[in-house]
Structure 1
Amino acid sequence: MKQKVLKVHKDDNVIVALTNLEAGEQVSYEGKQYILPEFVEAKHKFAAVPLPAGTEIIMYGVLVGKSETDIAEGGLLSIRNVKHAASDFITGERHTSWQMPDVSKWAGRTFNGYHRADGSVGTGNYWLVIPMVFCENRNLQVLQEALVTQLGYGRNKKYENQARALIDMYKSGSGIEEILYTEIDSPDTIPAKDRLFPNIDGIKFLTHAGGCGGTRQDAQALCGLLAGYITHPNVAGATVLSLGCQNAQVSILEEEIAKRDPAFSKPLYILDQQKTGTEAELLSQAIKQTFAGLIRANENTRKPAPLSKICIGLECGGSDGFSGISANPAIGYTSDLLIALGGSVILAEFPELCGVEQNLSDRCVDTESADRFRYLMKTYNERAMAVGSGFDMNPSPGNIKDGLITDAIKSAGAAKKGGTSPVTAILDYPEKVTKPGLNLLCTPGNDVESTTAEVASGANVVLFTTGLGTPTGNPITPVVKLSSNTKLYNKMNDIIDLDTGSIIEGDETIEQAGERILDYVIGVASGEIQVASVRHGQDDFIPWKRGVSL
């Protein structure tokens, strides 16, 4: 019989419902019987012991809240009777020893990637077209219309065909009811073209709303982010359009590129509209130079590379009460496996590390790193509080509805993505990963802003867990979507790649799922598996302005 409830950590005073539990139902856990006074929906928690008002609530072995009213044994925890609470942390002793997993089955294993002059290896081969300022977005759109379809990267016409069928129905006299309820078969009637450049995975256009009008710090951060994409191992080269007068000057971009790759040698074409003159001349030059760059970039082919050249970004979005029990610890084990193989991992979303800072601080390899982590967490939260917010306001309505009723509960589960290995480096946005092992990167919890930042820091694959479902992707890095529960996977398997609900069902251990995920990552990195976000062209790209975004 399937287990109905779970206590995540031996010290917890709450129990998680793995399935819906009716009012009056009797459930047992570790020999103790609980009679539930009210309905407890799957993913939510009930009290393992009486919790008088003011009692500290422990889950994952850490403080995640306090009871605001008396909660009887078996009583449901909700936003009506629980408030956020988290432990403070200090720069304490180093606890960097860890049980390294057995990786003998991957010994000598390789993936097929694109080798770059700086020693990095890409899991894809993309050309970028980038604006230095939002004024150039329209020119990017013109270039996109001119180049993408002609070079064989056009999208299928399924939905255009559907719209065309509806137009024909309306013209022939069909009414609203018929239009709403008629099944329309709309296959792609335009045959897909062969790519002119088979070794180039696509041309990506990174439109954004920045570059001018903000602070000089915003401009510097944007240039650093764009430099991270230009120097990324998944990028073959780039075309950059500048207006000329914006805060985000080309000279700053060039400085940021040099920081990340002092011997930068990729093809890079920079055009300044105010120097060039007419729009027609600017776009003509951009098309010619981009085409020339594509010819050169197409010469690179996939070749074997060690798994140590993989850098995984860890992300979660649309999380639920199962995320910290299934999907997050599963990719945490994947992280440990890759780190044991010499690879790099990025754990970000600092607002979602609230309450587990002490554990992560203690895992830092040196005191300097622990101090930097404390500083970044403290100043980030203070900035949020200064405008009437704070980390405690991080959970979304969807999170709360599905059992993550405090930020500390959400954070304790989110941190499981980082596994158990030592923390080798603390990075501030948009710094680049330079060390193997677990890197902590300061980003907001916003899915797209954080994923955008992780890729800029070097992630050439992103593992993205979700309990509610999200299509989030990235222009240049495959984003592997993993569901925390099988119900979601069955419902949205057009955008979800892997299911870890098998852990909740008791059909697979966390370790088995983690190993399965690593094998899948190797297939993705080799170009053998195309993830849903890539198939759908989900090219989400949002730079983070260093204001308050949780």
Structure 2
Amino acid sequence: MNSLNNNYLQIHPSDNVLVALQDLPKGMVIAHGQENITLLDDVKAKHKFSITNLLPNDQIIMYGVLVGKANEKIAKGALLTTTNIKHATNDFSLGKRNINWTSPDIHKWKERTFNGYHRSDGSVGTANYWLVISLVFCENRNMNILKQALVDKLGYGKTTSYQLKSDRLIEYYKAGKTVDDILSINFDEIKTDEHKPNPLFPNVDGIKFLTHDLGCGGTRNDARNLCGLLAGYITNANVAGATVLSLGCQNAQVSLLKEEISKRDANFSKPLYVFEQQVEGTEENLINKALKSTFCGLIEINKLTRKPASLSKLCIGLECGGSDGFSGISANPAIGYTSDLITALGGSVILAEFPELCGVEQELADRCVDDENANRFISLMRSYNDKAEALGSGFFANPSPGNIKDGLITDAIKSAGAAKKGGTSPVTQVLDYPEKVEKSGLALLCTPGSDVESTTAVVGAGANIVLFTTGLGTPTGNPIAPVIKLSTNTALFNKMPDIIDINCGSIIEGEETIQQAGERILEYVIKVASGEEIPKSVRLAQDDFIPWKRDISL
């Protein structure tokens, strides 16, 4: 980063805009380089203002790349808004390979290990879960019946303070209290520690149930993608075995699921129990068999214990959601440095959210290790955007109202910051959804920018931990992979401590460098991978799972 002080930041020397690091009042004089710039508008923290006079169609440069063009004359010192600038990016094509990479110093971690669950395919889990999966939405009710039968009885449920608060409401109602009496209840007096799970199988982190609204009624490609995603979860290193419920007549056939599992693990040996309702007949027959088999499977996987593993066995998914104008200058580059450390150690990282790579395609294509991967990335980006435009949208429409309110006013501005999560290492593979990571290094995975769909996808691609940055706050989690939440600013960290694990606002405040933050994050990742730290999303059982139905989501 360039020209950092307490008031503003010039991210790249060629940028013609500055980012406000705190609220700046109209009339304030900004000393930049050899000149003084008088602000013509109030500029809220995270927003940008011009350092040159711009004419209509002049380029807006941030992070050293084109992120927009002027819609009208913009005077030096004026605030950039959705009215006076528009989304714009440079075209991209197959270029020369740019893979001469200087890796970070990893001597501190070269001999380090984490304690994980070793699988027969050579992968290592950061957790040990049993999955129960529906192949079609028709089985969701049976899934819920199994969940009711297993989770609490096996000690994976927990009593919350909210249940005690409901007890108080019922008590007041039965006592004939008025509505005003009930509304005046002081819930603060009922605070209590939540009852922690006390499982019958202590080496099993949980039984997770993956329900969805797909499996039939869509295209055959939808069914194939769903089975590929579910196969990715079954073969994920954090999963020890699975129970699958099928109706029998749906597009997402059991044979298709097994074919997708074999693609990902030709020697698949985890316990897998499959039950079809149209074969079993009654609900009771289906549930009885699934219940007994699942219980026996849990007995077996409870015999597994954590053992030391190289950090090269880490596969980290990279995500951002509820992003703000600080995302690209604090939390995202911080986990980008963590990503570089992990790839240098022989591990894998997955950068997804293709709509949020719009504008930095050329840099990423040039970082691909060969022309084949570069061409695939270029093709996926173009076809995805073309299909979105055919449906009346496009990558330009990706920023949400919250993004815009907090300074990400074009998709290119958002993307240039989002791409920082991937660090600077070469791209070793380009994957289309729902393919699985096969190599160490940085992988690009085609997914939407939508938080839960993308997080769901990167775990299906093999991530055994997810690093998730947020500037506005989002509780997104995952059923089987710990999702570590990092705030871009200290205000958010203090405001939502129940969902945020790590504060990167220290970078904005000048208290630590991106490198220092990245190293701190890696240390936390190692503790989470070993089961020594439990991220907030796991404590809250934030088990978000939404498969991507291709081409209809940004």
TM range (shorter): over 0.9
Question: CA 1:468–1:237 in structure 2 vs 1: closer, same or farther (change >3 Å)?
Answer: same
Partner of 1:467: 471
Residues 1:168 and 2:174 aligned together: no
Question: CA 1:173–1:189 in structure 2 vs 1: closer, same or farther (change >3 Å)?
Answer: farther
Residues 1:231 and 2:235 aligned together: yes
Partner of 1:431: 435
- 1:172 Cα deviation after fit: 3.2
Instruction: Quote the Cα distance in structure 1 between the aligned partners of 2:177 and 2:51.
Output: 60
2:339 to 335, 339, 342: 335
- 1:31 Cα deviation after fit: 4.3
Partner of 1:264: 268
Partner of 2:423: 419
Contact 1:319 1:399 in 2 (8 A): yes
Q: Which amino acid aligns with 1:53?
A: P
- What aligned pairs does 1:309-320 form with structure 2 within 5 A after superposition? 309-320=313-324
Question: CA 1:358–1:192 in structure 2 vs 1: closer, same or farther (change >3 Å)?
Answer: closer
Instruction: Quote the Cα distance in structure 1 between the aligned partners of 2:326 and 2:485.
Output: 15
Partner of 2:182: 179
- 1:168 Cα deviation after fit: 1.9
Contact 1:133 1:212 in 2 (8 A): yes
Q: How many corresponding residue pairs?
A: 550
**TM-score normalised by the chain length of structure 2:** 0.98
Partner of 2:552: 548
Residues 1:323 and 2:313 aligned together: no
**3-state secondary structure, aligned to 2:420:** helix
Question: CA 1:2–1:420 in structure 2 vs 1: closer, same or farther (change >3 Å)?
Answer: closer
Contact 1:128 1:238 in 2 (8 A): yes
- Identity among equivalent positions (%) equals 66
Instruction: Quote the Cα distance in structure 2 between the aligned partners of 1:364 and 1:189.
Output: 50
Aligned-residue CA RMSD (Å): 1.3
Residues 1:533 and 2:549 aligned together: no
- What aligned pairs does 1:99-498 form with structure 2 within 5 A after superposition? 99-184=102-187, 185-187=189-191, 192=196, 194-498=198-502
Question: CA 1:63–1:331 in structure 2 vs 1: closer, same or farther (change >3 Å)?
Answer: same
Instruction: Quote the Cα distance in structure 1 between the aligned partners of 2:175 and 2:311.
Output: 59
1:513 to 513, 517, 537: 517
**3-state secondary structure, aligned to 1:105:** coil
Residues 460-509 of structure 1 show CA distances to partners (whole Å, capped at 9, x for unaligned) of 00000000000000000000000000000000011000000000000000
Instruction: Quote the Cα distance in structure 2 between the aligned partners of 1:126 and 1:534.
Output: 13
**3-state secondary structure, aligned to 2:349:** strand
Contact 1:156 1:188 in 2 (8 A): no
Q: Which amino acid aligns with 1:272?
A: E
Contact 1:315 1:347 in 2 (8 A): yes
**3-state secondary structure, aligned to 2:108:** helix
Contact 2:160 2:195 in 1 (8 A): no
Question: CA 1:401–1:278 in structure 2 vs 1: closer, same or farther (change >3 Å)?
Answer: same
- What aligned pairs does 1:3-82 form with structure 2 within 5 A after superposition? 3-82=6-85
Residues 296-328 of structure 1 show CA distances to partners (whole Å, capped at 9, x for unaligned) of 011110000000000000000000000000000
- 1:162 Cα deviation after fit: 0.9
- 1:189 Cα deviation after fit: 8.4
Contact 1:339 1:345 in 2 (8 A): yes
Q: Which amino acid aligns with 1:501?
A: G
Range with greater deviation from structure 2 (20-29 or 228-237):
20-29
Residues 1:500 and 2:523 aligned together: no
Question: CA 1:191–1:503 in structure 2 vs 1: closer, same or farther (change >3 Å)?
Answer: closer
Q: Which amino acid aligns with 1:500?
A: C
- 1:171 Cα deviation after fit: 3.5
Instruction: Quote the Cα distance in structure 2 between the aligned partners of 1:156 and 1:220.
Output: 39
- What aligned pairs does 1:84-95 form with structure 2 within 5 A after superposition? 84-95=87-98
Residues 58-80 of structure 1 show CA distances to partners (whole Å, capped at 9, x for unaligned) of 00000000010111100000001
Contact 2:158 2:195 in 1 (8 A): no
Q: Which amino acid aligns with 1:110?
A: T
Q: Which amino acid aligns with 1:123?
A: T
Instruction: Quote the Cα distance in structure 1 between the aligned partners of 2:181 and 2:83.
Output: 46
- 1:181 Cα deviation after fit: 4.2
**3-state secondary structure, aligned to 2:431:** strand
Q: Which amino acid aligns with 1:96?
A: I
Contact 1:5 1:29 in 2 (8 A): no
Contact 1:342 1:436 in 2 (8 A): yes
**3-state secondary structure, aligned to 1:360:** helix
Instruction: Quote the Cα distance in structure 1 between the aligned partners of 2:182 and 2:19.
Output: 45
- 1:178 Cα deviation after fit: 4.1
- 1:192 Cα deviation after fit: 4.7
Q: Which amino acid aligns with 1:156?
A: T
Residues 76-121 of structure 1 show CA distances to partners (whole Å, capped at 9, x for unaligned) of 0000101000111000000001121000011210000000000000
Q: Which amino acid aligns with 1:38?
A: D
* Unaligned runs of at least 5 residues, structure 1: none
**3-state secondary structure, aligned to 1:6:** strand
**3-state secondary structure, aligned to 1:104:** coil
* Unaligned runs of at least 5 residues, structure 2: none
Instruction: Quote the Cα distance in structure 2 between the aligned partners of 1:356 and 1:547.
Output: 21
Instruction: Quote the Cα distance in structure 1 between the aligned partners of 2:183 and 2:49.
Output: 44
Question: CA 1:57–1:295 in structure 2 vs 1: closer, same or farther (change >3 Å)?
Answer: same
Q: Which amino acid aligns with 1:22?
A: P
- 1:164 Cα deviation after fit: 1.7
**3-state secondary structure, aligned to 1:452:** helix
Instruction: Quote the Cα distance in structure 1 between the aligned partners of 2:96 and 2:451.
Output: 32
Instruction: Quote the Cα distance in structure 1 between the aligned partners of 2:76 and 2:404.
Output: 22
Instruction: Quote the Cα distance in structure 2 between the aligned partners of 1:248 and 1:188.
Output: 45
**TM-score normalised by the chain length of structure 1:** 0.98
- 1:188 Cα deviation after fit: 5.3
Range with greater deviation from structure 2 (14-23 or 26-35):
26-35
Residues 102-148 of structure 1 show CA distances to partners (whole Å, capped at 9, x for unaligned) of 00011210000000000000000000000000000000100000000
